[in-house]
Chain A
Amino acid sequence: MIDATPTLATPFSAIVGFTLARRALLCALVDPGLGGVVVHGASGTGKSELLRSFTEFVRRAVDPLAPVVHLPAGVDHEALHGGVDLARALAGVPGARQKGAVERARGGVLVVGALDALEPWGLHAISSDTGEPERPLLVGETGGSGEALPVWFIDRIPFHPFEPARMEDHMIPVMLERQQGQARTSMDLRETFAGEDQRAAARVAEARAFLPKIIVGERILREVMERCTTLNVEGDRAPTFALRAARAHAALRGSTIIETNDLDFAVATVLAVRARGGTGQPDNESRSAPVPSPLRTSPEPGVVHERREAASETGGTTAIDTTEQSSGGSSQEEGAGTGGDGGDDGARAVIAGVDFNATPGELGEILARVKSEQQAGEHATRENWRHGRQVRALPGLPHGKRLALGATLRAAAPHQHARRAANTPDRTVLRRDDLRVQRLRERTGTLYILLVDASGSMASNRMREAKGAVARLLHEAYVDRDSVALIAVRGAEADLLLPPTRSVARARRALETLPTGGGTPLASALSSALHLALLERLRAHRESLVVLITDGRANVPIAANAAGMIRSVRRRHVREELEGIAARYRAAHVNSIVIDTRTVASTASEAASLAQMLDARYCRLPDPGSRSIVAALQSN
Chain B
Amino acid sequence: MSSAATARPARPVYPFVAIVGQEEMRRTLILTAIDPAIGGVMIMGHRGTGKSTAVRALAEVMPPLIAVEGCPFHCAPGTTVGLCEYCTNEGSARTVEMQVPVVDLPLGATEDRVAGTLDIEQALAHGRRRFEPGVLARANRGFLYIDEVNLLEDHLIDLLLDVAASGVNTVEREGISVRHPAHFSLIGSGNPEEGELRPQLLDRFGLGATIETEREPALRVEIIRRRLAFDADPSGFVAHWAADTATLRNRIGAAQRYLPEVVVPEPALSTIAALTSTLALDGHRGDLTLARAARAHAAFEHRPTVTIEDLRSVAPLALRHRLRTDPFTLDTPSDTVETTFDRIVPG
Contacts and interface: CB of A to CB of B under 8 A. Distances in A.
Interface of A: 33, 77, 80-84, 86, 89-90, 92, 94-97, 119-122, 124-125, 128, 132-134, 150-152, 155-156, 212, 216, 221-222, 224-226, 228-229, 234-240, 243-244, 318, 321-322, 324-325, 329, 331, 356, 389, 405-406, 409-410, 413, 416, 426-428, 430, 471, 475, 478-479, 481, 483, 501-506, 508
Contact of B125 (A94, A119, A478): A94
Contacts of A506: 193
A503 B228 contact: no
A234 B126 contact: no
A503 B197 CA distance: 10
Interface stretch (B59-67, B70-78, B216-224, B279-287): B216-224
Interface string B192-209: 111110100000000000
Central interface residue in A212, A226, A236, by most chain B CB within 10 Å = A236
A239 B224 CA distance: 7
A503 B124 contact: no
A275 B213 CA distance: 14
Interface SS majority for chain A? helix
Contact of A331 (B151, B328, B331): B328
A502 B110 contact: no
Contact of A128 (B127, B147, B217): B147
B220 A236 contact: yes
A224 B108 contact: no
A506 B193 CA distance: 6
A240 B228 contact: yes
A172 B288 CA distance: 69
A505 B196 CA distance: 9
A423 to B, nearest CB: 13
A324 B173 CA distance: 51
B4 A240 contact: no
Contacts of A504: 196, 327-328
A235 B106 contact: no
Nearest to A500: B195
Contact of A89 (B47, B124, B148): B124
Contact of A221 (B4, B11, B151, B221): B221
B90 interface: no
A428 B330 contact: no
Contact of A84 (B120, B147, B198, B224): B120
Nearest to B106: A125
A235 B213 contact: yes
12 contacts: A77-B113, A81-B2, A81-B106, A134-B9, A152-B194, A236-B49, A325-B329, A356-B328, A406-B175, A503-B193, A505-B192, A506-B193
Contact of A325 (B1, B123, B195, B326): B326
Central interface residue in A134, A426, A504, by most chain B CB within 10 Å = A504
A77 B108 contact: yes
Given A120-B151, A236-B48, A405-B120, A243 B107 contact: no
Interface of B: 1-2, 4, 6, 9, 11, 46-50, 104, 106-111, 113, 117-118, 120-121, 123-127, 147-148, 151, 154-155, 173-175, 191-196, 198, 213-214, 217, 220-221, 223-225, 227-228, 231-232, 326-331
B213 A236 contact: yes
B108 A80 contact: yes
A405 B329 contact: no
Contact of B194 (A82, A86, A151): A151
A427 to B, nearest CB: 6
B48 A237 contact: yes
B108 A321 contact: no
A352 B231 CA distance: 49
Nearest to B10: A134
B3 to A, nearest CB: 9
Contacts, number: 193
A216 B224 CA distance: 11
A406 B174 contact: yes
B151 A236 contact: no
Central interface residue in A94, A322, A406, A416, by most chain B CB within 10 Å = A406
B191 A152 contact: yes
A156 B53 CA distance: 13
A325 B331 contact: yes
Contact of B126 (A96, A406, A426): A426
B228 A409 contact: no
A428 B120 CA distance: 11
A155 B155 CA distance: 27
Central interface residue in A132, A325, A410, by most chain B CB within 10 Å = A325
Contacts of B151: 120-121, 124
Contacts of B326: 325, 329, 331
A7 to B, nearest CB: 33
B121 A89 contact: yes
A77 B328 contact: no
A296 B36 CA distance: 49
B194 A225 contact: no
Nearest to A239: B224
Contacts of A155: 47-48
Contacts of A95: 121
Contact of A428 (B125, B198, B225): B125
A462 B11 CA distance: 58
Contacts of B329: 321, 324-325, 329
Given A124-B147, A151-B47, A405-B123, 6 more contacts: A77-B110, A84-B121, A95-B121, A222-B221, A329-B326, A502-B194
- List 7 A-B pairs, minimum CB-CB distance, nearest first: A235-B48, A406-B174, A237-B48, A121-B108, A502-B195, A121-B107, A329-B326
A406 B118 contact: yes
B312 to A, nearest CB: 25
A128 B6 contact: yes
Contacts of B109: 77
Nearest to A509: B193
A432 B249 CA distance: 56
Central interface residue in B113, B125, B174, by most chain A CB within 10 Å = B125
B108 A212 contact: no
A338 to B, nearest CB: 13
Given A235-B47, A325-B326, A471-B328, A389 B107 contact: no
B47 A234 contact: yes
A124 B106 contact: yes
Contacts of B193: 151, 501, 503, 505-506
Contacts of B225: 221
Contacts of B154: 481
Given A77-B109, A124-B107, A221-B224, A410 B196 contact: no
Nearest to A236: B223
A243 B227 CA distance: 11
B224 A389 contact: no
B121 A94 contact: yes
A478 B124 contact: no
A606 B8 CA distance: 61
A228 B215 CA distance: 11
A318 B329 CA distance: 10
A235 B327 contact: no
Nearest to B198: A479
Contact of A478 (B48, B108, B327): B327
A133 B221 CA distance: 25
A285 to B, nearest CB: 9
Given A95-B121, A235-B213, A503 B220 contact: no
